[in-house]
Amino acid sequence: AVASQEAIKELGTNGGGYFNANSAHPFENPNGLSNLLEIFLILLIPLSLTRTFGRMVGSVRQGYAILAAMVTIWVVFTGLMMWTEFHHGAPAFDIAGGAFEGKETRFGIGASSIFSVATTLTSTGAVNSFLSSYTGFGGGIALLGMQLGEIAPGGVGSGLYGILIMAVIAVFLAGLMVGRTPEYLGKKIGTRQIKFAACYILITPALVLCFTGVAMALPTPVNSLTNSGAHGFSEILYAYTSGANNNGSAFAGLNADTQWFNTSIGVAMLLGRFLPMVFVLALAGSLAEQKPVPATAGTLRTDKPLFSGLLVGTIMIVAGLTYFPALALGPLAEGLAS
């Protein structure tokens, strides 16, 4: 029974564990091989959708360009997570060989880091380790992975639209730099399309940051914290980031079973899930009603490595400008102080 639910949990990016310990429980994830299999299942459909996209638009290379951007972000995040968890400078961590607190010994730091990045960069939310026990920087990487918005490689429920919105923004920025009307897949990106894309990328951050700010200002939510200071702030920021970004993983250490958190996180989940879809559909409709324009010598090739690099840069700049102040108050402050 557990095995059948585990496959559904990971392959369908559901994340809710059969047991409360989720994928840290030996019945759900008994050894290193099963751990790698679960990571494979988490990434399988989202990564495969890039080829589906390429076939649908008539150019598999377009899908490969999107795939390259996804893989680049995933590899960088995984490398940073393993670096901060293995090489933290605290004496206790040095003796243990890394930040081992909250991690299963049968997986170790490396496999736990890979799993945590896979589950926060997608919409899965399954965990095989205690994210609140990660280092300050490690917790920040998990937070930022969700804040990118299900794009590297994304989720089964949201599909590819998160990174395709970013592709539209990247094309628009490239058009501004060369002084010509941007085009993506033969469709012109004008004022109307950019307004829809801008609304999409603003909805979720507005929910996360506003609810986090209100929760920190009210006495009752703050009393639910088991940690003070930067780590306590990270707990609340993580709760709303996970809810609004359709992830569902928990930082733990926060008593969220209160009237305030049950209501506010529920509202963040509802609005964060459905409002972005409205703007995605509106953008898709505005592009569908256009007649394709032929490519010219000045058209930005969106099936080349240059575009993949531009897309990665756009994603990190947009997410960084949006969430950096909040991350600086939470995980970055904690990491620099430790």
326 has a pLDDT exceeding 90: yes
Q: What's residue 242's pLDDT? A: 92
Q: What is the pLDDT of residue 94?
A: 56
The number of distinct structural domains making up the chain is 1
Q: Residue 213: its pLDDT value, please?
A: 94
| Whether the bond into 153 is cis, omega within 30 of 0 | yes
- The letter for the amino acid at 272 is G
Taking the C-alpha atoms of residue 301 and residue 183, their distance in angstroms, rounded to an integer, is 10
- The whole-angstrom separation of Cα 268 and Cα 133 is 25
41 CB contacts (<8 Å, ≥6 apart)?
7, 10, 11
**The one-letter amino acid at 76:** V
- Structure tokens belonging to residue 161: 């639209």
- Does the pLDDT at position 97 exceed 70? no
Give residue 2's pLDDT band: very low, low, confident or very high (50, 70, 90).
confident
- For the chain, report the end-to-end CA distance as a whole number of angstroms: 43
Position 274 pLDDT exceeds 60 = yes
Q: 79-93, 130-144, 241-255 — which is least confidently predicted? A: 79-93
Domain limits for position 225: 2-337
Q: Which two tokens stand for residue 193?
A: 């399309």
Overall pTM surpassing 0.85 (yes/no): yes
Tokens in use for 318? Answer: 């947009």
Question: Of 4-8, 72-76, 219-223, 294-298, which range is least confident?
Answer: 294-298
Retrieve residue 28's tokens.
């759900």
Confidence of residue 95 (pLDDT cuts 50, 70, 90): low
The predicted model gives 180-205 an average pLDDT of 91
pLDDT at residue number 149: 86
Q: What is the mean pLDDT of residues 132-140?
A: 90
The answer for 329, left when phi > 0, alpha when psi is -120 to 50, beta otherwise, is alpha
Please give the distance of CA 205 from its chain centroid, rounded to a whole number. Answer: 12
Q: Which two tokens stand for residue 19?
A: 């047991």
Kind and range of the H or E run holding 197: helix 191-217
- What backbone phi and psi angles, to 5 degrees, belong to 22? 60, -140
| Percentage of the chain exceeding pLDDT 90 | 57
Q: For residue 165, how many C-alpha atoms fall within 13 Å in the half-sphere facing its CB?
A: 28
Output the six-digit token pair for 162: 């998160």
Number of residues assigned to the chain: 338
Q: What is the mean pLDDT of residues 255-282?
A: 93
Note the pLDDT tens digit of each residue in 29-76.
Answer: 999 999 999 999 999 999 999 999 999 999 999 999 999 999 999 999
Q: Are 144 and 262 in contact (CB under 8 A)?
A: no
Residue 19, beta-bridge partner list: none
Q: State the pLDDT confidence band at 92, using cuts at 50, 70 and 90.
A: low
Alpha carbon 157 to its chain's center: 13
Q: What is the pLDDT of residue 93?
A: 59
Task: Reduce the DSSP state of residue 252 to 3 states and report it.
Answer: coil
